Structure 1
Amino acid sequence: MTFCRCTRLPELGLLLLATLLLASGCAPKARMMVWRPAELDIAGLERLAILDFEGDQQSGKIARSALQSQLFENKYYNLIDQAELARVRPVTTPEGNPDLTAAMEAARTMGVDAILCGQVVSYNVLDDLQTDHHIELGGSTSKSSKGDTSSGVGFGLDSTQTLTREASVSVAAKLIDVRTGEIRAARQFSHTFHGKRVNGQGDLPPREAILTKLLNECSQDVVRMIAPHYLPQEVVLARQYYGKGMNELRAGNKSAMKGNWTEAEKHWQTALRENPQSHAAQFNLALAAEARLDYPAAMQHLDNAIKGYAASDYQAAKKRMTAGQQKFQLAFAQAQSRPTAQAALAARNQPPPMAPNAQFPPQQQFVQQPPQYGPPQQPAAPHNVPPQMPAYGPPPPTGPQVMPASHSQLPPQ
C-alpha cells in the first residue's frame, strides 16, 4: 500500500500561493459520467431487431439475450423482438440457425430500420490442474552424553496443486440497414480471463459466471459502437490550504469524491462567495457543471479560473473539456437524427423562447443545447435557460452520481 504525505507551504501571504492546485499524488480525485456518441454512423436508425447469433450450442441465443438486455437498458433504440418477426414469416432455418434473408423481408414488412446479427466466434472456458511434487533433503547431527557424535539424513515430500482457469469470449456483430441492405457497422470484440487457485487458496469465479461476465463486456462494446452511451471519467479537484473559503472548498471536495456533485457544487458556491478571488472554487465549479453536462457554464467557470491563475493544469482541463463538449454535441445530434425526434421537432415548430427567469421542472434543468447541424456552437441564451430539446437525451444527474442504467426519456415540452 502506498501512502501519500502532503507538506504545508509556509504562509507567504500571496493569493497565488494560497491554493495548491492539482499536485500529483496527493490531489483528490472524483468520478463523473460523461455522455459519448456512438462510435459509428447510426443516423436515421431507431427501430432495431436483434437476431439469434450463430454459435455452438446455445451461445448464439445467449449472445442475443445479453445484447437485448444491454440495448434495452440503453434505451436509444425501439427494440423489436425476434418473435414478432417470426409472426410475419419464419426467421430461422429448420436446423434452428438464423435465416437473415427471411428476417430482412419480415423486418421490411414491419417497418424495422435495422437488424443486429453476427456470430459468437469463441465461448470457451478451460481448466488445467497441475500437481507438482518437491523432495526436500535434510540432515541432523547429535551428541550423546558420552561425547559420541552421530548424524543422519532425511527427506520429505511436498506437493503443490494449481488449478488454472482460462476463458475467452469473442463476438462478431454487424448492423444492417433494412431499407438499403447496407452494413452500417461491423466489428469483432473479444475479452479474456485468466485466474488460478493454489492448494485451494485464491478467488476463482465459477465457469458460467466468467463466461457471462465476458459476454456482457462484449455486449457493452457493441452498444458503444451503435448507440450514444455513458462512460466514467476521473477528474482531479483543486485544493486550498488556508484562507477564506477553505473549509467550504474542502467540504465540496469530500462530497465530489463520494459522487455527490450536487452537494459539492453548493459548498463550492459558498466558498466562492466567501472568497470571490478563489480560482480553485471556480475550477471545481467548472467540474460540477461538466458533471451535470452543462458545458457552457463549465467553460465560463473554467475561463474565470484561468483569468485568476493560468495554471497548466487548468489549460489541460479546458482542452479535455472542449473535446468532451464536442462529443456530447455529436451524441445529441445522433439523438436528433432518430425519426421520432425529427417528427417531434417539426411538430413543435420552434415555440418562442421562455423568459430568462422562467421556472423549469427539475428534469429539464442544466441541459445544454445541441446543434442540429454544423460545428459545435454556444447557445445565445443564458446557460440556465434550457433550450428546445429532442425527445431523447441524457438524463440529468440527481443526487449522488453513479453509472446510470439507461438514458431517461424526457417528456415533450
Structure 2
Amino acid sequence: MTIVPWDFATDFSRYRVIIRSFSLTPTLVQLAIILIGMRNGHSIARAWHCLPRATQIALPLLSGFCMIPWFIGAEDPGRIPMAIIVFLVHVIFALLIFQLIAGFSNPQRKLLAKCIALGVIAYCIIWGVSLLFFVPVGPGWISQVPGLTHVRGLSFFVVCGFYMALASLPEMPTEKSNKREYVIAYLGGFVSILLAFWSGSRGSIVAILGALSILLWAASSFRIAILKFSFLIFILGALASLALPIPHPSYGIIRFTNVTSDITYLSSGRTTIWLETLPKILDRPIFGWGLDQFQLIRFESFQGFKQPHNIVLQSLISIGFVGSAILAVAILPILRKARLQLDSLVRVSALGMIATTCILAMYDAALYYNYPLMMLAVAVALAFAPDGLQSAPDK
C-alpha cells in the first residue's frame, strides 16, 4: 500500500496537506519503482518503441496541448504543469511495470497479487491501531481517513484488495495448494468487502458486482471458483459489518438500503454535478479549463469538488473536445493491439479489476486519483503481459 507513517498523525501540517491533496504518495512510489527498474537494466525507451506509432505521436502532442490553458488563462495555472508531470510519471510507470511483469511467470504474478491483497489487510490493521491513539470526532470520520482526503476513497482499496485476493486463490483444479493459500485469499477478500460495507462505499460494491457479471460470462473455466469465492466473501463481509460500531451516518450497511425516487439523493448529488458541468464544458469546448482546475471553477450548487465524478465529463472539462480526441487516438490503438488470454485466475482477476475501475470511473474518481491509476497499470500488465517473457535487460 502507499500509506506512509506521517499520515496517521493527529495534526495536519501544511506539508501533510499538500501530500494528501495532490495524492503525491503513490507518485513517489511509482518513481521509486521506476528507478529500481532502470537500475536493473530495464529500458523505458524499448518499451516506448513497442507502442503503436499513433500512440507515440499522440502522447507528446497531448502533453503539449494540455499546456495551452496555462497560456490563455486558467484558474490556477501552477496546477497544470504539475498535473502534466504526474501524467508523464503514470505513462512511464505503466510502460515499465508492463515490461517487468512480462518477465514474471504465473506463480510470480500470483505472489505479487497476494502481496497487494496483504497490503490492504495491513492498511486496515494499522488504521485500527491508530484509533487507539486518536479517534476522529463527527466529520473527522469523513476527512481524516489515513492516506485519503475523503472516506469514499476507500473504494479504490476495496476494489484492489478484492481482485488481488481472488487472484491469490490456487488455480483449479490441478494446482496443489495448502490451507494457508486459501486463508490469505479469503481473508484478503473478506477484509476488502467488510471495509466496503462498513464504510458505506456503495459505488465499489455496485462496480464489483457489475464486473463480476462480465467475468462469469467471459471466463467460463473459472466460473465456479469466482462464484464460490464472491458469494462467501460478500455474505461474510455484510454480516460482519453489522457487528462493527457505526461512527458516522455516512458509514454502515444501512446506506445500501436507502431506496428513494429522488435521483439526486440516490446519486449523492452526482446528477447535479453532471448537469452543471455540461454548460461549463461548452464555455470552453476546444481547450477545456485546464488540468486539475475543476475544483476552482464556480458552480451554482456546489464548490470544491476535485472532479465531476465521471471520466467523460472529466476529460471534456479538463482538455476539451480536441484534447479528448487526441487522448482517444493515444488509447484506441493500444486497445486494438491488446490480446487477452483468460488462461489463469490471475489474468481473469486482473481483467475484473480493470472492468470494475472503468465502471467506477463513470460515477466516481477512479481515473482521477493517483492510487487507482497506478493499480490500473498493474492490473493491465497482469492481464495482458505475456507470461515469463525473457527479454534481456539493457546493460
Q: Shared topology, TM-score over 0.5?
A: no
TM norm structure 2: 0.25
More strand by share: 1
Greater radius of gyration (CA) = 1
Q: Which has the higher helix share?
A: 2
